[in-house]
């Protein structure tokens, strides 16, 4: 039986309070994710929420037509983003085939992921709930400016995600 982790319960409670396990589509989130892909010149980008058994994409760009886009996420074991969440710091993979944490990942072996940059999304309640990430199909060196740009975009995303908590509270009051 898995060990009870109160910090993980708090993190998952924050995700529930923000209603991020629900299917959402918000134009502002989608626009920021698309901008991340375009500004960093990579084909894929996503806002992933790290749940206990899976990562769920609340917004994504470039995944249309593939299985990941259809299911809107991956098993947690395959998640690159969970590294950014666990570390509470950017996770950078410039050569996924040779990176010790990713080289055996099915997304690398079967889906040709070669480069990844993800920054954690940390709420005002100090909970790392997920990551904003960009993904490439070729090896890529990321500069500090690339990391900074993604952090800036994540900072724009967080108020949109946190606004969901206030909407949920308002809906509860009005019911």
Q: Enter the pTM of the model.
A: 0.90
Its CATH class, for the domain covering 6-174, is alpha beta
pLDDT score, position 21 = 65
Cα 29 to Cα 123: distance, rounded to the nearest angstrom: 16
Flag whether pLDDT at 134 surpasses 70. yes
Q: Are 93 and 116 in contact (CB under 8 A)?
A: yes
Question: Taking Cα atoms as reference points, which of 109, 173, 94 lies closest to residue 140?
Answer: 94
- The predicted-structure confidence for 69-128, as pLDDT tens digits, reads as follows 566 789 999 999 999 999 999 999 999 999 999 999 999 998 899 999 999 999 999 999
Question: Taking Cα atoms as reference points, which of 104, 127, 102, 124 lies closest to residue 115?
Answer: 102
pLDDT score, position 3 = 65
Q: Classify burial at 104, counting beta carbons within 10 Å of its beta carbon; exposed 0-12, middle 13-18, buried 19 or more.
A: exposed
Question: For the chain, what percent of residues have pLDDT higher than 70?
Answer: 86
Q: Domain extents for the chain?
A: 6-174
Using the structure block, give the residue that is written with the tokens 């998640």. 79
């Amino acid at each position: 039986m898995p060990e009870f982790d109160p910090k993980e319960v708090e993190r998952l409670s924050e995700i529930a309070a923000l209603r991020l396990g629900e299917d959402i589509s918000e134009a502002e989130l989608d626009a920021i994710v698309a901008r991340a892909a375009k500004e960093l010149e990579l084909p894929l980008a996503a806002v992933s929420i790290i749940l206990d058994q899976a990562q769920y994409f609340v917004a994504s760009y470039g995944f249309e037509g593939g299985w990941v886009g259809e299911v809107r996420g991956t098993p947690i074991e395959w998640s690159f983003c969970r590294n950014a969440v666990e570390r509470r710091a950017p996770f950078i993979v410039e050569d996924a085939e040779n990176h010790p944490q990713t080289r055996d990942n099915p997304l690398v072996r079967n889906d040709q992921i070669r480069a990844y940059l993800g920054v954690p999304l940390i709420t005002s309640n100090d909970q790392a709930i997920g990551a904003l990430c960009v993904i490439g199909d070729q090896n890529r060196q990321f500069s500090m400016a690339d990391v900074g740009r993604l952090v800036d975009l994540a900072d724009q995303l967080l108020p949109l995600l946190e606004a969901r908590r206030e909407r949920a509270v308002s809906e509860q009051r009005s019911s």
